[in-house]
Structure 1
Amino acid sequence: MNAIQALSKRVSVAQLTGPDLTPDEEEKLFLAALRAPDHAWMRPSRYLTVRGDERQQLGRLFLESTDNWQTLAEDKQTKLLNMPMRAPLIVVAICTVTDHPKVPREEQLLSTGAGVQNMLNAAYALDIGAIWRTGDVAYNRKIAAGLGLKDNEEIVGFVYLGRVNTTPKPVPELAISDFVQSWPIKSS
């Protein structure tokens, strides 16, 4: 698969299974992530891997970091506990935000986000299923602390990785003209 095919045909895959990624596959994914644009070469991104029994610990962290978790309905508690079990490997994408006169926080977050996108594209090219997940668990400071993040670090997302065990849904083709205009825009 060439780069243009991977970039234009990539889809997220939510249902993932084993076998685990090989060390070579993981290395390729992280090499791709580390090639993301990075203004001033700040290197704001870092990544945590969660696999095996560690996923159950992460589920427990998701549950116990939720406000008033003891009062949640049992099915909601179970859902939080099982979230990390949806893939054999989870990569937590973290942005370390540093004060910089020319590189604002937003650009540092975008750099980490670009790294995640590179990882997703590389996974697709390698025939590895992947999905980028956020939601409440990504923005919960108790979860961030439980993962060992510092005060100046933010979770950009959880990348779930594994083998595809279903036929991915085809993504509809988009009309470029619906999204791209020439400037100045002429009023109608």
Structure 2
Amino acid sequence: MPSPNPAAMDFLLTRRSRPAKTLTGPAPDRDALIPILTAAARSPDHGKLEPWRFVVLEGAALDRLAAAALARGAALGLAPETAEKGRRQFADSPLCVAVVESPKDSPKVPAIEQTYSAGAVCLALLNAALASGWGANWLTGWISEDRSFVETELGLAAHERIAGFLHLGTETVAPPDRPRPDIAAITEWVTA
């Protein structure tokens, strides 16, 4: 017979990301962030490859990245509002954890499984931050796909990519809940 954890299940059934633009300081300090990162690193990882890593962005690093995003957007000829969206992702963030997908060569673990593991780390980090009382949001956007930006500004290797930018801070406003999937419409029961 299973041993349920009703509090954990209630959290999962009611969890809600907080829009990044509604987060402010304070953000978790290093002592508060370590358990969140530790929980995220407990994600499924076939072969124990750790095909991901964390880059914690704070203070002046966020200011530098905001300016670099705006400059990169202009260099790419992006619409000003698109370039600004990339800038604001860093300028408005009290703390950002870049989850970097860093696949490993493996004869047993396909690359797609390593990608899924990196995605699981993002969700686990988001949920661990929320469970710890912080506001949190998982974003990507054009800035995460721009090879020049991620390699030059974040130091990613050619084989790495951003799985997500996780923004953490203090929630200023709780957004209304949004419509959730209709489980009956997306579930098929196969019994034979």
Q: TM-score range by the shorter chain?
A: 0.7 to 0.9
Query: Percent of pairs identical after alignment?
Result: 32
The aligned counterpart of 2:172 is: 165
The aligned counterpart of 2:59 is: 52
The TM-score with structure 2 as length reference comes to: 0.86
2:141 to 135, 139, 159: 135
Deviations 1:22-57 (A, max 9, x none): 333201210111000001000111010111121111
Task: Note the C-alpha offset of 1:182.
Answer: 1.0
Structure 1 runs of 4+ with >2 Å offset? 22-25, 63-69, 71-83, 171-176
**Number of residue pairs matched?**
184
8 Å Cα contact 1:11-1:171 kept in structure 2: no
8 Å Cα contact 2:135-2:170 kept in structure 1: yes
* Paired AA for residue 102 in structure 1: K
* Paired AA for residue 123 in structure 2: Q
The aligned counterpart of 2:35 is: 28
5 Å matches for 1:103-142? 103-142=109-148
C-alpha separation in 2, matches of 1:75 and 1:101: 44
* Paired AA for residue 170 in structure 1: D
Task: Note the C-alpha offset of 1:175.
Answer: 3.5
* Paired AA for residue 27 in structure 2: D
5+ residue gaps, structure 2: 1-5
* Paired AA for residue 157 in structure 1: G
C-alpha separation in 1, matches of 2:168 and 2:79: 29
C-alpha separation in 2, matches of 1:51 and 1:169: 29
SS in 1 for 2:26: coil
C-alpha separation in 2, matches of 1:58 and 1:125: 28
C-alpha separation in 2, matches of 1:140 and 1:72: 12
The TM-score with structure 1 as length reference comes to: 0.88
* Paired AA for residue 37 in structure 1: P
The aligned counterpart of 1:4 is: 9
SS in 2 for 1:182: coil
RMSD value, Cα:
2.1
C-alpha separation in 2, matches of 1:140 and 1:155: 10
Task: Note the C-alpha offset of 1:142.
Answer: 0.7
2:190 to 166, 180, 183: 183
